[in-house]
């Protein structure tokens, strides 16, 4: 059985990775949501590599200094733990940001959302509870019906084991509060040949669009 005890990841993150990696159906279900879980050696290789962040984002200073990768997506982007608590995402096109306040909420959201998280990374969706709930309930989000039964069973089991919520309003609160957590996660360029990171909300306006989202959900 694969364990992650020799990594520097928080214990709770280690336990989730162990649970997913050692369950083929659950691992495939996460893969279909573009969250790829690898073995302990993959995690350790990144922990020992001091160059990966600069290679992805260019030379810069991060608003969070303890950044630990634990998974990747199909583009090569990384899911990371920030300061042993927050869950962030570092993309391959200069974008990064916080996606959840903790690993429990990250796993809860994926287990219920059951599709790419990036589908909801939009001000129009997150700025409106009604729009978010409409997307959450839209069956056409799942484009692989032949795999749906397997994934539903795997995710339903995870929800039951961990007592995750299915309440749509609580899920909306999870994702909006997670993505607007301050300070925003960004990389400030320290070389004039590079620019500061952009947000995850499909915008090149740095973090301004996150401020816009913060104002919308506070109303």
Every domain of the chain and the residues it spans: 11-218
pLDDT at 1 over 90: no
Element (H, E) at 146: helix 145-162
Structure confidence by residue, pLDDT tens digits, 165-176: 999 999 999 999
Burial level of 157, CB count in 10 A (0-12/13-18/19+)?
Answer: middle
Average pLDDT, the chain: 93
Strand order in the sheet with 67-72: 67-72, 78-82, 86-90, 96-100
Q: What is the mean pLDDT of residues 197-212?
A: 82
Contact between 58 and 189 under an 8 Å Cβ cutoff? The reply is yes
Per-residue pLDDT at 50: 87
Distances 97 to 5, 12, 23, 178 between C-alpha atoms, Å: 27, 21, 29, 10
Specify the pTM: 0.95
């Amino acid at each position: 059985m694969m364990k992650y005890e020799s990594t520097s990841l928080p214990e709770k993150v280690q336990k989730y990775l162990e649970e997913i990696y050692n369950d083929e159906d659950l691992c495939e279900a996460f893969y279909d949501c573009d969250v790829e879980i690898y073995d302990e050696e993959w995690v350790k290789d990144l922990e020992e590599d001091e160059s990966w962040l600069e290679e992805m984002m260019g030379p810069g200073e991060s608003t969070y200094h303890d950044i630990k990768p634990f998974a990747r997506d199909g583009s090569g982007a990384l899911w990371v733990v920030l300061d042993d608590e927050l869950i962030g995402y570092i993309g391959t096109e200069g974008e990064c940001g916080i996606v959840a306040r903790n690993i429990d909420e990250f796993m809860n959201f994926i287990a219920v959302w059951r599709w790419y998280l990036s589908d909801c990374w939009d001000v129009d969706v997150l700025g409106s509870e009604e729009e978010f709930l409409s997307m959450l309930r839209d069956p056409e989000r799942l484009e692989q019906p032949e795999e749906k039964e397997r994934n539903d069973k795997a995710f339903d089991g995870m929800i039951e084991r961990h007592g995750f919520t299915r309440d749509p309003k609580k899920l909306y609160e999870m994702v909006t509060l997670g993505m607007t957590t301050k300070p925003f996660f960004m990389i400030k360029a320290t070389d004039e040949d590079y620019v500061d990171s952009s947000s995850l909300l499909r915008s090149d306006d740095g973090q301004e669009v996150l401020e816009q989202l913060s104002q919308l959900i506070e109303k």
